[in-house]
Structure 1
Amino acid sequence: MKPIGYVVVAVIAAAAGFGIYQFALAPRMNAEVPQVANEANTTPTEATAEADSSADGLPETLPDFTLANLEGQPQSIRSWQGKSMIVNFWATWCAPCRREIPLLKKIQAEHGAEGFQIVGVAVDFRDDVLKYAKEMSIDYPLLIGEEDGLNAVTKFGRGSLGFPFTVFTDNQQRLVLFHLGEIHPEQAKIMLAAVRRVNAGELTPAAARIVAAKQLQELPPAKE
């Protein structure tokens, strides 16, 4: 049996219509997205779209952290200078995380040449991640951590989170978007377009968040 120690305890929950796994990082953290929905008298989906695109609590640039890569060597998340980063936090036990991996692989294959770089951050047991990455033929970089992976999560200052969650940066590693839950193809198109406009100097990261939030809210509900 694997030691549990500091490892996160997963609890299956429906969070803001995404059907994501929520987990306890620390006793002080509360589920913030449902509270926003109640206070604002909006639906959970609307509140989540607003919260995900908000700058509240987020650092302006991608926080630096170092985890082991697939080869077991320490590597900084800031290793990919000049790239528009798509940093996806996930775990092998998370069903929505597993479902979105084919889309992430497709995004990397189709948009890597224009400067987008996906990096998966697996907060999980290393052996489990290595096995699953091989099974899924994950061809984008992975960083892996257990307690140090959880420490990386807390650098984003968002309180209670679920897996998966993904942050999008511009090519200067400024945070543009924060997405909680599984990414679907139409959402990905909107978020990639927002980053492109920031890279082109058409929008600031803050303005891109507002534009993307409106477009995401106008999408029809994703089919299960």
Structure 2
Amino acid sequence: MSVVTLGPLLIAADRLVWFAAFGLAVLVGTTLAQRRRARLVDRLFALAFVGLVAARLVFVARHAALYAPHPLQILDIRDQGFDLWGGLAAVALYALIAGWRVPALRVPLAGALAAGALGASLGLWGLAVLDTQPTHLSTIPLARANQADTSLAGLAETAPDKPMVVNLWASWCGPCRREMPMLARAQTQYPGVVFVFVNEDDTRDAMQRFLADTGLRLEHQLIDTQHRLAQARAVRGYPTTLFFDADGEHRARHTGVLSPAMLAERLRGLTDSAPD
């Protein structure tokens, strides 16, 4: 999924679609409500809040074991852990209750929800159509320390029938440094997945100093000092993590820090294995 840059902020394009869909819902809903002399705006913002909270709680409940060691991570929504269907169910239930209590809101609420759903559907479909990024593992040559150059496609040939997680990172990137220990542990927690770490520092020395200082052991560490892979994948911020299935097809993209729960969510459907 593409990312939009707003100053220092990196926002996934699909998030902007949801914001736009909510704006459309407010516009349509308030127009219909004015004709019936009903107040709807407060209800719509409450509805959005209920949906977001429910989506987060359902996601956390599904991954309770992974949040249990660090419960404060539940509040850190930067990991983007939301359950879509849980949120939509809460929105539908809230709308039904509001419409039952205030009959004048029934048509405006229905119109707002229909407009929002249509806007989100068209927006997400448009993003999929406009996405021109490569869908398969790259053959771009990448350097390895003390070994011959390889590529993501070349690494996949050494581990057939395994999904691959490709993490693009840099030693100067604070979020990268925070998530790296978790990803290093994931190498042993998910033995059925190939984890590849592509360093985007301008020099090898910066990467090697970071790994030496932290003592992290990364089995597949590649170097992209020319940033060719990052450019091919339209990476605009780090860390960016790409997920490929066992056939080498690109299935998901995550920009920002991964939590253990979000990693498990991204891997769901790519592998049957749970973290050891």
TM-score normalised by structure 2 residue count: 0.52
The aligned amino acid for 2:252 is L
Mapped to 1, the partners of 2:205 and 2:147 lie a distance apart of 11
**What is the CA distance between 1:167 and its match in structure 2?**
0.6
1:97 Cα offset (Å)? 0.5
Post-superposition shift, 1:145?
2.2
Question: Within 2, Cα distance between the matches of 1:183 and 1:176?
Answer: 16
Partner AA of 2:197 in structure 1: G
- The CA distance in 2 between the partners of 1:178 and 1:77, in whole Å, is 16
Identify the residue that residue 162 of structure 1 maps to in structure 2. 237
Report the Cα offset of residue 32 of structure 1.
Answer: 5.5
Q: CA RMSD in A?
A: 3.3
1:94 paired to 2:173? yes
AA aligned to 1:142 is: Q
1:159-209 deviation digits (Å, cap 9, x = unpaired)? x62101011111111111111111111101111112126x9xxxxxxxxxx
Residue correspondences, number: 165
Over 3 Å counting, the alpha-carbon distance change for 1:98 and 1:57 in structure 2 is same
Q: What residue number does 2:91 align with? A: none
Report the 3-state secondary structure (helix = DSSP H, G, I; strand = E; otherwise coil) of the residue aligned with 1:88. Answer: strand
Aligned to 1:15, which of 10, 14, 21? 10
The offset of 1:35, in angstroms, is 5.5
Deviation string, structure 1 residues 46-93 (Cα, Å, up to 9, x no partner): 9xx998xx7523322122211111225311122232131100000000
Higher strand share: 1
Shift of 1:37: 5.9
SS in structure 2 opposite 1:196?
Answer: coil
Q: Answer yes or no: is the 8 Å Cα contact 2:138–2:151 preserved in 1.
A: no
Q: Which has the higher contact order (CA 8 A, sep 6+)?
A: 1
Task: Give the Cα–Cα distance (whole angstroms) in 2 for the partners of residues 80 and 109 of structure 1.
Answer: 18
Q: What residue is the counterpart of 2:265 in the other structure?
A: 190
Correspondence 1:120 to 2:197: yes
TM normalised by structure 1 equals: 0.62
Gaps of 5+ in 2: 1-6, 24-51, 53-77, 85-119
Identity among equivalent pairs (%): 26
Structure 1 pair 133/179, CA: closer, same or farther in 2 (3 Å)?
A: same
Q: Deviations over 1:96-141 (max 9, x none)?
A: 10111111111111112x2x01111111121010111222223321
| Alpha-carbon contact 2:156-2:248 (below 8 Å) kept | no
Distance between the aligned counterparts of 1:187 and 1:77, measured in 2? 23
Residue 133 in 1 paired to residue 133 in 2? no
Q: Which has the higher Rg, Structure 1 or Structure 2?
A: 2
Q: Report the CA distance shift for 1:37/1:162 in structure 2 as closer, same or farther (over 3 A).
A: farther
Residue aligned with 2:143, SS: strand
Q: Letter of the 2:169 partner, please give it.
A: W
